[in-house]
Chain A
Amino acid sequence: MSIIVETKNVSKSYEMGGISTEILKNVNLQINKGEFISIMGSSGSGKSTLLYLIGGLDKPSAGRIEILGKEISVMKDKDESIMRRRDIGFVFQFYNLIPNLSVEENIMLPMLLDGKPKSSYRDKLDGIIEIVGLSERRKHTPRELSGGQQQRVAIARALINGPELILADEPIGNLDSTTGMEIMELFRKINKERGKTIIQVTHSQEATVYGNRIIRLKDGVLQKEA
């Protein structure tokens, strides 16, 4: 199995009120292609920070992070953005959809940013909308959708460019349990059927069931896997 994500001695600290606080301490991690990882830990343990570092949304204070063999922490903004468009898909707890764009426009955003012509992704868009079960709602705006539906749009957006890696930050944290499980089922389907690597940050023990490996963080330190 090939390694899709590798962190080497990654540390991250923030200055707050003149005091430096270390959020992550020497995190070494390898994630293989096709895995479905759940990162768990108490509040402030650094799990979301680790996810954002992997996604290139933040830079580590020390150490290196490689995605698909490329070191993301030294990349220029343009290359980093291209990687986020093509190789990574993000799903957030609060969906983060653009309210004035329709479902399909929200989903198409990464491709639009990649400069691809509309005709090239029309079929793909139909397929993805079908997978997330929003065929009837494609012209609606996020305001007109339930929380679960909005999260499906976010997942579809994460998938549209066919990235190898899906990063999900507490994807069901804002949903009721039934809807949450439906979303997790969708993630499992994507992982199994499409072979996508998924890393999710979660508080929910039930959500970890859908994954195949759990990584625990405590006070910024990676705990030995059980």
Chain B
Amino acid sequence: MNIIARSIIKNIAERKFRTGLIIFSILISTALFFSSITISNALTHVYTQKLENAQGNADIVIKNGDNTTSFFSADKAEKLSNSTTYIIGEIQSPAIFITKDNNINWFNLHGLEENELEKLNPITYVDKQNDQPFEGNQIIVSQGMVDKFKLSIGDALYLEVNGKKQSFHIYGISYPVGYFMDESQFYSAIVPKQTLSQIYQANGLVNYVNIKLADVNDKSAAITELSGVYKNQMVKDPVSPEDIKSQTSVLSTALMVMVVVVTFMSIFIIYTCFKVLTIERLPMVGTFRSIGATKKVIHLLLIAESLFYGVIGAVLGSAFGVVILYYITSMTTPSYIKQSQMMIQFSPVHIVAASLFAIVLCLGSSLMPILKTSKIPLKEVILSLTELKDLGKTKKFIMGLVFIAMIVIFAPMVTGQLAVAVVGVSVILAGVAVTLVVPFLTELAAAILEKLYALIFGNVGPLALKNIRGNSNMMNTISLIAIGITSIMFVNTASNSVLTATTNLYSESSTFDIKMAAAGADQQLVNDIRKVDGVQDVYANYEAKNVKVVDKNGDILAIDSVDSARHLDFWKIDMDGDLKGQLKKLDNERNILLAVQVKERLGVKDGDTITLAFPKGNKEYKVQGSFNTLMYTGNYALISEKYMKQDLGATTYSNIYIKTNQNPSTVSKHLERKFFSDRPQIVTVKDWQQGNVKSNKQIFNILKGFAFLSMLIGIVGVFNNLVINLIQRRRNLAMLRSIGMSKVQTVKMIFIESLTLGLMGGVFGCLGGYLLIWLLPYIYKAVFIPPVYIFYPISQVWLYFLASVCIAIVASISPMNKSSKLNIINVIKYE
């Protein structure tokens, strides 16, 4: 046993390139697996930290509903005083700072006393006036702010608060932590609560309450209790886990898809490596078997070898996974967090899971070639008379076609929860199908191309084609290139389609130029907006967020109200039939129009009734119909304004849509200036699009990075295959040289072979890519993403071809070089 083991260890050491390739494949797959299972936790941590820092360390906050500015008493929360560490009432207020060149800078003022600040969100000062108490017109601002406006301690700062110009003096300058961590949208500043109270004449009332519980486990009970007391306010967790989960789950789902692709390629590479390795070991196996080694011993040793690769791959893969995790977290973390305290999150469980994945991947992929050796009669093993037999190419092709047929038939048929599984299996089957049809189609293509090749390349052309036919290494090379191209094409198309669709969301589905939200947005405000210079038309509606569908155990992310007379002037709805009539019908009774995804997710049909949990109680709505939309990724519905007002109890508008007859940016500045005391959130459709592009690109760049890694595995696999191919063909090449093939002809033949491998890899890759792209709508549907227009990559196809040909040719440089230096006699005589 020891001798056999030693012999295998020597083999591992001698075959450095192959050992490296197997370990590299496992490493990449494991790293991707590790990062995809940890990314969600890591990002959750980052976002939680971000929100916690911005909000302080309170467990519960009480604030006004979305758009109101009224003040209320913090005293009612005192009923919980026995179970809390602190209850701090705060006044929050917007303010503006107008520079000499008339630029408006937004501030969010926190009205807090110094001792409260100490408990809630302590300040780390860069500089501070130590000799004075924090009172009167003192203000604490950030280092970034004073740097930008060239201010320092004691300087005066004039802010417009509640419509009046107020003079403040800079009392302290804070490092960019806590409230000052994120100043990307507005500056933060802290002023004495008393001062703000006087400005607003709040008389001891507040508009924000921070509560820290003695025992955080009492949170949900406390929220319920406080909600009973603060009926007109929102009592909530400052950081909503659901919101964070929804932000991070898209990325982790997408990464899982990449893991499937990369794992599949790794299995393929490890399988082919082990097949070659087992063939090479057959003489050795034969020798050991002839002197009495049992099958079991040989199997155990080969499995131990596989385990060795798995363990090394697990260790390196987990380490590389941490690097990838850091990279992705860093890419998706806002810069202000990165500067201060970016941390990656993973546990030993993740490492164990990734390691197990690596070992199972390696053992699973190598088991089949290892077990195949046991089917060969001992005599044949000893005399090396055998090869490991595969299925014939025709059988493979038929099986591949069956897989494709299954995908085409089943993927569109299945809906609901089962769809995720079916679509997932379909993606894997598509990859398997590509590898199965490659040998037959290559043979077919080679037969078709023979005459053309003879015409272009002379007699060496058809010879190169014949070399490809039936050569398993070259078939594997084509498959690897094809799978790589398939995955890159798929990821690019999937991301580009979603990117384009979300970028054009408003321009495709609406006709307004500016979207605005403001505190206390009533009809008066809407009328005032109409008077602003550049405003052509205004439409406002109500929006209910996160509405529970009581009887279906689900929720709808956003429900908008519809004024049937005006809605279509500002919104386009993708729905068949008489749109105006449909909207009008919403007014007749409690009817609801659902986005197609909501309808499918809830499993309801037209005419069904759903019960929605509104602030004014549970209300039954009849499903009137459905429409396609990308708003809120399709988690969206429309009801009539009349019933929304009744059921939501809303008195102020949630959203105001504005059409302009001037440059929207200019109009938005006018609006900001005029309504600043109403804390308007104003965004032009153009700015919104740009912001959307930026945030989407981040996610898709990560995905593309992963696709690139899968392509990298493919490329390394191609290099490996071509080198193995050269080793196995040395005798043939030497024979050809002996009968008169010149070095130039040899190089030319290998070049033509590579070119053909690249071309065929490109063709099959693009076909595979189109198959997966065809599946894309079903993938979107399975994960309840609304259907987007799929941009089939037609003009870019030549790029995929070029990439595939380049990979094959570059990978064949070494074999070409080695073939020209072949020692003919050594090969012919001794190999």
Contact = CB atoms under 8 A, between A and B. Distances in A.
A86 B739 CA distance: 9
Interface stretch (A65-73, A106-114, A189-197, A210-218): A106-114
A75 B734 CA distance: 19
Contacts of B550: none
B85 interface: no
A113 B740 contact: yes
Nearest to B470: A100
Nearest to A94: B828
A81 B828 contact: no
A113 B825 contact: no
Contacts of A82: 740, 742
Interface stretch (B301-309, B456-464, B719-727): B456-464
A118 B768 CA distance: 37
Interface residues of B, number: 28
Interface stretch (A1-9, A34-42, A50-58, A126-134): A50-58
A61 B742 CA distance: 22
A101 B738 contact: no
B782 to A, nearest CB: 44
Interface string B738-756: 1111111100000000000
A137 to B, nearest CB: 18
Nearest to B468: A100
B825 A57 contact: yes
Nearest to A116: B459
B460 A57 contact: no
Looking at chain B's contact residues, the main secondary structure is helix
B739 A77 contact: no
A98 interface: yes
Name which of A83, A96, A110, A157 has the most chain B CB atoms within 10 A of its CB.
A96
B740 A57 contact: no
Interface string A12-48: 0000000000000000000000000000000000001
Contacts of B828: 57, 92, 94, 96
A96 B731 contact: yes
Contacts of A86: 740
Interface in B778-801: none
A80 B742 CA distance: 8
A110 B741 CA distance: 8
A188 interface: no
A219 interface: no
Contact of B739 (A49, A84, A115): A84
Interface in B796-831: 824-825, 828-829
B736 A109 contact: yes
Contacts of B731: 96
Nearest to A55: B738
A85 B505 CA distance: 69
Nearest to A82: B740
Nearest to B458: A115
Given A112-B459, A112-B463, A113-B459, A90 B739 contact: yes
A101 B459 CA distance: 14
A158 B829 CA distance: 18
A98 B732 contact: yes
A113 to B, nearest CB: 5
Contacts of B471: 100
Which range contains the number of A residues in contact with the other chain?
A: 35 or more
Contacts of A55: 738
A113 B460 contact: yes
A113 B741 contact: yes
B467 interface: yes
B469 interface: yes
B399 interface: no
B742 A78 contact: yes
Nearest to B734: A96
A161 to B, nearest CB: 8
Residue of A48, A81, A116 with most partner-chain B CB within 10 A: A81
B738 A90 contact: yes
B744 A77 contact: yes
B466 interface: yes
* From B462, B470, B731, B738, residue with most partner A Cβ within 10 Å: B738
Contact of B744 (A58, A78, A105): A78
Contact of A105 (B466, B739, B824, B829): B466
Nearest to B744: A78
Nearest to A158: B739
Interface centre among B471, B736, B828 (most CB of A within 10 A): B828
Contacts of A88: 740
B738 to A, nearest CB: 5
Interface string B247-266: 00000000000000000000
B545 to A, nearest CB: 67
Contacts of B469: 100
B745 A81 contact: yes
Contacts of B743: 77, 81
A43 to B, nearest CB: 12
B735 interface: yes
A115 B461 CA distance: 11
A57, A105, A115, A158 pick with most chain B CB within 10 angstroms: A57
Contact of A113 (B466, B732, B739): B739
Contacts of B829: 48, 169
A136 to B, nearest CB: 22
* Chain A CB within 10 A, most for which of B463, B736, B740: B740
A113 B736 contact: yes
A85 B739 contact: yes
Contact of B466 (A84, A92, A97, A101): A101
A14 to B, nearest CB: 10
Interface string B445-485: 00000000000001110110011011100000000000000
Nearest to A84: B740
Contacts of B737: 57, 81
A58 B734 CA distance: 12
A92 B731 CA distance: 12
Interface string B752-778: 000000000000000000000000000
7 contacts: A57-B737, A58-B824, A81-B740, A82-B742, A84-B738, A109-B739, A115-B458
Interface of B: 458-460, 462-463, 466-467, 469-471, 731-732, 734-745, 824-825, 828-829
Given A55-B738, A82-B742, 9 more contacts: A82-B740, A85-B740, A90-B738, A92-B738, A96-B734, A98-B732, A110-B740, A113-B739, A113-B745
Interface of A: 48-49, 52, 55, 57-58, 77-78, 80-86, 88-90, 92, 94, 96-101, 105, 109-110, 112-116, 157-158, 169
Closest 3 CB pairs of A and B: A85-B740, A81-B742, A84-B740
